[in-house]
Amino acid sequence: MRTWKYQALLERFERLYPDDGSKYIAIFDFPGTRMPRMLYNHMLRLKVERVQLSVYMGSQAHVMALAAIVREYGGKVRVYRVEEVPL
């Protein structure tokens, strides 16, 4: 069975950032070009939720893995911690 190219990267981030219930978002862009199609295939393996076209939310480990993959594909990315404010 073939292993996912980024499995070791994800496992490293899961060790570095144990899930504490906090949510993070990654906001990314590929200036001057379209988002690579293969990036979608990698996102399907991560536990991230699509908020908008280039905004995804999830645990710190999965969002950091997504950010690393986006950078590898030449994109610009920012990661933020989400804090829900009661209304």
We report the CATH number of the domain holding residue 23 as 3.30.70.240
Confidence of residue 35 (pLDDT cuts 50, 70, 90): confident
Number of structural domains in the chain: 1
Residue range 43-59: mean pLDDT, rounded: 93
Amino acid at 69: I
Residue 41's pLDDT is 87
Residue in 41, 20, 35 with CA at minimum distance from that of residue 73: 35
| Residue 20 domain flag | yes
Distance (Å, rounded) from C-alpha 29 to C-alpha 4?
24
Domain hosting 33: range is 7-82
| Residue 1 domain flag | no
